[in-house]
């Protein structure tokens, strides 16, 4: 389980940006608005790949 979890976690806006295709600045903006699925680990911005994929699918359905 730990191996799968470590493969699913993105740490930092740069990593989230590379995975999602959104510019890094947009990641910060969406997270600040509460519009993007993320969590904080101390000062680090983090997200799960699986959650981002589900969020994008939900956005497409709107």
Report pTM.
0.88
User: Is-contact 12 45, C-beta < 8 A?
Assistant: yes
pLDDT tens, 37-54?
999 999 999 999 999 999
The number of beta carbons lying within 10 Å of the beta carbon of residue 46 is 16
CA atoms within 13 A on the CB side of 20: 32
Distance of CA 29 to the CA centre of its chain: 12
pLDDT higher than 60, residue 1: no
Going from the C-alpha of 41 to that of each of 36, 56, 59, the distances in angstroms are 16, 23, 26
């Amino acid at each position: 389980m730990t191996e799968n979890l470590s493969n699913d976690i993105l740490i930092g806006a740069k990593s989230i940006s590379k995975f999602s295709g959104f510019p890094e600045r947009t990641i910060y903006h969406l997270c600040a608005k509460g519009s993007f699925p993320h969590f904080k680990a101390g000062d680090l911005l983090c997200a799960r790949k699986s959650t981002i994929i589900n969020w994008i699918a939900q956005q497409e359905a709107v």
